[in-house]
A and B are shown apart, each in its own frame.
Chain A
Amino acid sequence: MQNLYAPKSREGFGLWLYKIIAGVLIVLLLGLHFIINHMVAPQGLLSWSDVVAYYQNPIIPIIEVIFLIVVVSHALIGLRSIILDLNPSARLLRLLDGLFVVVGLASIVYGIWLVTVVVSFGKA
């Protein structure tokens, strides 16, 4: 008989609560994003110069980076939950966890780099 309670994934209270808090934040930030896009910038930030100008307000890069971190982590933790339902072996899960951390960190670093580039265009 297999061990019915062998722990391996750490899926639990912490990740669940994080996922819910991140989800609520996404709903709020996305709502804010749409309000800004359609009320403040009615054309919807469709040209490069609009985007660069938009990012000159210092609060915007901060919000966007927070948004990026929250969305990427919510997405990857959620994807991991789905994969957990496929009952992966402990070995495969460790491998996937590494992959998730790398992809998540890379996305965030890339996003921050992109935001700083866009902001710097306005300073030039």
Chain B
Amino acid sequence: MNKKWNVTYIIRRQKASQEPRDESFTIEVDPDEYVLDGVERIWAFHDRSLTFRHACHHSTCGACAMRVNGVEKLTCITTIRSVTQDGGTLRVEPLRNFPVVSDLVVDMSSMYLRLEDAAFAQVAPLPATGLPYEGDPATEDPHFERLVDCIECGCCISACPIATTTSTYMGPAVLAGIEHAFKQSHDLSLLDMADREDGVWRCHSAFECSAVCPSNVDPGWRIMNLRRMVTGNRVRRFFGLRPQKGNTK
């Protein structure tokens, strides 16, 4: 058993149209517990009006993303030890660049709707999942399928400097989803969807999305790869050549 820590959670609270305010809760935790465990304990024993989203507790559902000490984290896999110390504080805020519904809950419907437009599938044949630069998948047999890496947690959009000021930008998760979907279906309308002012051309290469992604999607790489594919197909179209199928390199 670890020695227990006393940790002060500073939680950003906001209901309906109220002004946001910070509220502190000092609780006893095991340092190897996760940030989400502490939030749940605060809800269970200190304040039943605290709202937050969570479900699976093992980084599969993507519901519990929050900003922890100013960095987007999936709180169910972020140990308390990794973000504070005994007697220390820990700041928990809702994701940015989404409207707050209540406390730590934000409205991510814009991202979900755009992902739906992008024909983003949660399950895909094994060869088309993962990042191509990480090497060959375990099998080339398309009959094997698995859950794709993106868990739609919204961390990347919260960290993106462009999404900070403009709500019309599709955002890293959606562009990465289009890249992913295109490599499966080779549907050229997906490239057209990304090839627009609020699509791949709005990215300004800060690569914050890739830095915060808890699920190894590397949206920054995928946006650049998408640009490459869009550019390649435009050049081919210009010279009257047939469009290239999704290059997975």
Q: What residues make up the interface of A, taking CB atoms closer than 8 Å to B?
A: 2, 4-13, 15-17, 81, 84-87
Q: What residue of chain A has the Cβ atom nearest to residue B230's Cβ?
A: A13
Indicate if B86 sits at the interface (CB-CB under 8 A): no
Partner of A8, one of B113, B117, B197, B201: B197
Indicate if B114 sits at the interface (CB-CB under 8 A): yes
A86 CA to B202 CA in the complex, in Å?
12
| B-chain residues with CB within 8 Å of residue A87 when the two chains form the complex | 165-168
Contact between chains at B165 and A85 (CB < 8 Å): yes
Q: What residues make up the interface of B, taking CB atoms closer than 8 Å to A?
A: 110, 113-114, 117, 162, 165-168, 195-198, 201-202, 204, 230-231, 234
Known contacts A13-B231, A85-B165, A86-B165; A4 and B197 CB within 8 A of each other? no
A88 CA to B39 CA in the complex, in Å?
39
Known contacts A4-B110, A4-B113, A13-B231; A86 and B166 CB within 8 A of each other? yes
Please give the distance in Å from A15's CB to the nearest CB on chain B: 8
Q: What residue of chain B has the Cβ atom nearest to residue A6's Cβ?
A: B168
Among all A-B residue pairs, the 5 with the closest Cβ atoms: A87-B166, A11-B197, A9-B197, A12-B201, A85-B165
Contact between chains at B197 and A7 (CB < 8 Å): yes
| A-chain residues with CB within 8 Å of residue B230 when the two chains form the complex | 13
Kindly name the residue among B114, B167, B196, B231 whose own CB sees the greatest number of chain A CB atoms within 10 A. B196
Given A11-B202, A85-B165, 4 more pairs with CB closer than 8 A: A5-B198, A7-B196, A85-B162, A85-B204
A87 CA to B168 CA in the complex, in Å?
8
Known contacts A4-B114, A11-B201, A13-B201; A85 and B196 CB within 8 A of each other? no
Q: What residue of chain B has the Cβ atom nearest to residue A7's Cβ?
A: B197
| A-chain residues with CB within 8 Å of residue B198 when the two chains form the complex | 4-5
Partner of B197, one of A2, A10, A17, A86: A10
Known contacts A4-B110, A4-B113, A4-B114; A13 and B168 CB within 8 A of each other? no
Q: What residue of chain A has the Cβ atom nearest to residue B163's Cβ?
A: A85
Known contacts A9-B197, A13-B231; A4 and B168 CB within 8 A of each other? yes
Please give the distance in Å from A18's CB to the nearest CB on chain B: 12
| A-chain residues with CB within 8 Å of residue B195 when the two chains form the complex | 12-13
A10 CA to B196 CA in the complex, in Å?
8
A2 CA to B166 CA in the complex, in Å?
13
